[in-house]
Amino acid sequence: MVRIVLIDDDPISTFITEKLIFNNIKVPCTIFKFQSAIEALKDISSISPNYLFLDLNMPEMTGWDFLEEFEPKTYKPEVYILSSSVDERDINKASNYSLVKKYLSKPLIKKYIKTIFK
């Protein structure tokens, strides 16, 4: 069973991402959704996700803050930043994090899903 974590404070974006994933991957999966990076950080080690989709602009704890504190010990998820920001500085900054596989712009599209879950 593939475990996927979505961290995004926008419920509409999360809904769209979840539907796209469920409708376009062929393997059984479970999706865990968090509207708060703080809450995700508390629970994520018990989930041990294979994939993590992370928004950057959230209240209380940003996606960048999450990446600074997120240190998986026994698993290595593929982390995808999923942001509405097209700022070149954000895109470049993402490459400084070894866990971040790719920076994707919202909304997530079918082409990206097929590449990620091939």
User: Domain residue spans in the chain?
Assistant: 1-31+52-69+76-87+99-118
Taking only the tens place, the pLDDT of each residue in 28-77 is 999 999 999 999 999 999 999 999 999 999 999 999 999 999 999 899 99
Q: Does pTM surpass 0.85?
A: yes
Contacts of 8 (CB under 8 A, 6+ apart): 14, 17, 33, 34, 35, 53, 54, 55, 58, 82
CATH of domain 1-31+52-69+76-87+99-118: 3.40.50.2300
Which amino acid makes up residue 52?
L
Looking at beta carbons, which pairs linking 90-93 to residues 24 or more positions away fall under 8 Å? Answer: 90/56, 93/64
